[in-house]
Amino acid sequence: MKKQEFPLAQYLLLGLLFVGSCAYQVRATIAAFPGFLGKGSVAWPFIPSYAKGLPHATFVRPEARKAGVAERDILIQVDGKPFTGKVVFGEAIRTARPGDNLLVAVESPNTHTERTLAIPLAAASATLNWTVAFVVMLKVVMPAFNIALGFWVAFVRPRDIAAWLLLGVLLGLSNLFSAGTESWGWGVRDLGTFYFATANELWAICMLYFGLYFPEPFPPGRARAWVWLATKVIVPLLVIDAVVEVVVEIGSVENYASVARLDGFWQHFSPFWFFTSGPR
């Protein structure tokens, strides 16, 4: 039997992915629990999110509601700067300290009346309770388990395509929640956004191929039409969708105007992506 060569390339790639995944997960954990791990951090008064080409305030906290911000209000300015991308909000939060006021200009989607509000920023909570414990399970324990399991399987079987597909599936499952990368600072925020968006988008592709190849290759004689459809049509379209979504995600952080047309055009196909790859 011919002796196989040492899979150096596979291990190098695996090592780079492992370092990147762990670095992202550590930073995401700090962002998820700023009260415990981020000294002097403030609680986010709301989460900025783009919908139909407009930035909205979502998951509005009580202090922001008290100041006058309503759910789905359109964001116009943050601390006097036009809201050109999520980074405007992220940088304001990153440099703020408890007790500061965050000045935001918002517009009601119903009345289109612009108003400027001052939101008092509170310190990030550091209280232990059952809700925090549940969040720890979702954002720390589950991702850590998925990363450890996925990389271990790929390490043991570096030449097995099913092992790499399982790794892709588990990395996608470890990134179910946004980590607020817009507040991570220059350069790091784009790397974090790229990793998060890529892991999410590639999940569907890896899951599809994992179903075809595990525990053994899908018998093409039984479903040739399905195999052809999956490999020749669905996967190429999912790859295109993944590239577009990653570009749009990074653009929405840095400067949404640069990807606005692409995002608007791609949203016309959102029902198709929902049925082919599941909810985003």
Domain ranges in the chain are 8-29+128-277, 47-120
Q: How much is the average pLDDT of 117-124?
A: 92
Rounded CA separation 3/63 (Å): 66
Q: How much is the average pLDDT of 118-142?
A: 86
3-class SS of residue 151 = helix
Q: What is the model's pLDDT at position 270?
A: 67
Provide the β-strand partners of residue 55.
Answer: 50
Asked if residue 277 has pLDDT above 90, the reply is no
Asked if residue 157 has pLDDT above 50, the reply is yes
Asked if residue 192 has pLDDT above 80, the reply is yes
Q: How confident is the model at residue 32 (pLDDT cuts 50, 70, 90)?
A: confident
CATH superfamily of 47-120: PDZ domain (2.30.42.10)
Rounded CA separation 91/183 (Å): 6
Q: What is the model's pLDDT at position 47?
A: 94
Q: How much is the average pLDDT of 27-50?
A: 87
Average pLDDT, the chain: 87
Most confident range (mean pLDDT) of 124-128, 137-141, 204-208, 223-227 is: 137-141
Rounded CA separation 175/168 (Å): 11
Of residues 68 and 3, which shows the higher confidence score? 68
Rounded CA separation 130/132 (Å): 5
Rounded CA separation 20/23 (Å): 5
Q: How much is the average pLDDT of 183-201?
A: 92
Q: What is the model's pLDDT at position 130?
A: 80
Q: How confident is the model at residue 212 (pLDDT cuts 50, 70, 90)?
A: confident
- Of 74, 179, 178, residue with least CA distance to 117: 74
Rounded CA separation 72/200 (Å): 25
Q: How confident is the model at residue 211 (pLDDT cuts 50, 70, 90)?
A: confident
**Kind and range of the H or E run holding 227:** helix 224-229
Q: What is the model's pLDDT at position 273?
A: 53
